[in-house]
Chain A
C-alpha cells in the first residue's frame, strides 16, 4: 500500500513570488507520481506526472516537479505565481492502487 503526505495544508504567497508545494510518499513498490489541480467546484486537472526517465518533470501552466527517490519526495514548484493559480493542489501516487494526498490550498495574494 502507498501513502502520500502533503505537509502544508495552506500556502499563501504573493503574486509573482516563487512557490514550492511539498509532497512525500511511502510505498513498498515502484510508483508513478502525479500532481493535480482542482479549482473550486470543478474536477481534477493533471498538472504533470512522473512515470520514468528524467527526474525533473515540466507540466502545464509553468509548473515543474522533481522526483527524489532517496527522499521519497515529489515537490511541485513554480518560479512566479499568478492570481489564477489559486486552487487546491493534490499530489498522488499510483502503485498497487491510486492514492491522493490531503491537498494543499495555494492562495495567491495581490
Chain B
C-alpha cells in the first residue's frame, strides 16, 4: 500500500485562488519531504525541500512567496500555491524518505489546473 499520501489528486480552480496540497507519510516519520513539479512530457523538477520545524529550502528560480511550504509535523507537509495563475497549472508531486533506511516514496501527484 501507499506509504506517502498526497491530496487532492486533482484541482481545478479560477485564477487568483490559493490552493493547498497535502503530503503525508503514512508509515514513517519524515523530517524531510520534497516537492516536485512536472510539466507535460517532461521530467520532475525539484522545487523545494521541506524541513520539519524549520524553513523550507527552495531551488533556484522558485518563488518562495508563491509556493508556501509548511512542515508542521513529522508526517505532514503542505504546499500552498498562492494566487494561482494559468501558468501555475502543472503536476505537483511530493516525496518523503531517502537513503538506506527509508527509500524515497512518492505521492500519486496532484494535477492543478488554473482556469
Contact = CB atoms under 8 A, between A and B. Distances in A.
A98 B108 contact: no
Interface residues of A, number: 20
Given A100-B44, A102-B42, A94 B104 contact: yes
A41 B111 contact: yes
Contacts, number: 44
B53 interface: no
B100 A94 contact: no
B56 interface: no
Contacts of A98: 34, 46, 95, 98, 104
A43 interface: yes
Interface string B38-55: 000111111000000000
Size bracket of the B interface? 20 to 34
Interface string A17-32: 0000000000000001
B6 interface: yes
Contacts of A56: none
B6 A43 contact: yes
Contacts of A74: none
A90 interface: yes
B103 A101 contact: no
Given A90-B44, A98-B34, A100-B43, A44 B93 contact: yes
5 closest cross-chain pairs (CB), A and B? A43-B108, A44-B106, A43-B109, A102-B43, A100-B44
